[in-house]
Every structure is written in structure tokens, then in C-alpha cells.
Amino acid sequence: MNKYALLLCASLMSTHLAAESPPSIPDPVAETQCDDFTNVTLRKLRSKESVNLCEFKGKPLLIVNTASNCGFTPQFEGLEAIHKEYKDRGLVVLGFPSDDFFQEEDDEKDTAKVCYINYGVTFTMFATSAVRGSDANPIFKHLNEATSSPNWNFYKYIVSADRKTVERFNSKTKPESKAMRDAIEAQLAAK
């Protein structure tokens, strides 16, 4: 057979196989819908892009309220290390800058500089929002009801993949601490 005949045969075979089993096209809406507190769309830090947190359905979350000018701001390094170590196993780290404790930059570009340039953050950071009181963003409203409001910057919340449990850690608990690692490992093992 010459090469043109081979190409024709290959083309006919692939057409036949495609007719037998039509390709499944994922439905992005169905894949991102969820019926829990994460069904909310929030804008990313210094971006026009938004993210619906249902995108992380079925994955444990590490949610942190952050600030650029806090004594705990160097914890970004530990959070980034946790993100890099556990992202391939399913953990999703999410940062929520807040000025609730008067330690966040006034301009979002300055907040982004601290996160992305000074600390090399690659996990998802959202636009500055409230994390306490009646003005709290929808994610923190739920976390506050499930546990209690953060008393300072860099409170860390580990949320189970099924969204049924929330474990809260205060500012003094470093991201790389044994307590945090044990909680993360437990959630990854449970998912």
C-alpha cells in the first residue's frame, strides 16, 4: 500500500471509532456546581479574573486571612511551602487579604507586590475583603459560624473535602508546624 492509501485507512478507522463512542465533552457548569458554602465567585487579587470556589470541589482547603504589614506576614513563606508540597495531593491553599486589623495596604497593587514579589506566592490570593463581622466575605461568614472569627491576621482554617468539618489554627501556629501538617495529612487521607 502506498502512503495515501494508509492515510485513508487510518482516517476511516478513526471516523468509525469516533462514531462508536462519541467523545465526552465535560460540562464546566456541572463540574463546578456545589451545594455548600464554597459556591461563591470571588475576584482574584490584582486581577479582573474571578474564581468560583466550587472549582475546588472534593479537595481539602487551607484558608488563611492575610495582611501585608503584620508581624506574621513572613508566614507567606510557610504557606507557599505547604502549597508546593501538598498541591499535587489535592490540598488547595487560598489567601484572603483583609484590613480588618488595619495592617493591609490601601492599594491592591501594593498588597499584590507583597504577596507575589516579596514572598513569591503562587497559590490563589483573592481581592482584599472583610473577614469579620457583618461585612465578612461569604467564605469567612461560614468559617466564623463554624468556628469563630479570626482574632488577628494569619488565622488558618483547614476545611475537609466534603466541607463538613473546619479546623481553626491561630496566628501563632506556623503553616509548617506539626499540628498543621498532621491536620493536613488527616484531611488528605480522608478525601
Q: How many C-beta atoms lie closer than 10 Å to residue 79's C-beta? A: 25
Contact between 130 and 68 under an 8 Å Cβ cutoff? The reply is no
Q: How far apart are CA 140 and CA 148, in angstroms?
A: 9
Q: Is 70 a catalytic residue?
A: yes
Count how many Cα atoms sit within 13 Å of the Cα of residue 143 in the half-sphere of its side chain: 28
Q: In Å, what is the CA distance from 50 to each residue of 12, 40, 92?
A: 43, 10, 16
CA dist 49 and 54 (Å) reads: 15
Which amino acid makes up residue 142? Answer: H
Indicate which residue of 9, 34, 54, 70 is catalytic. 70
What are the catalytic residues?
70
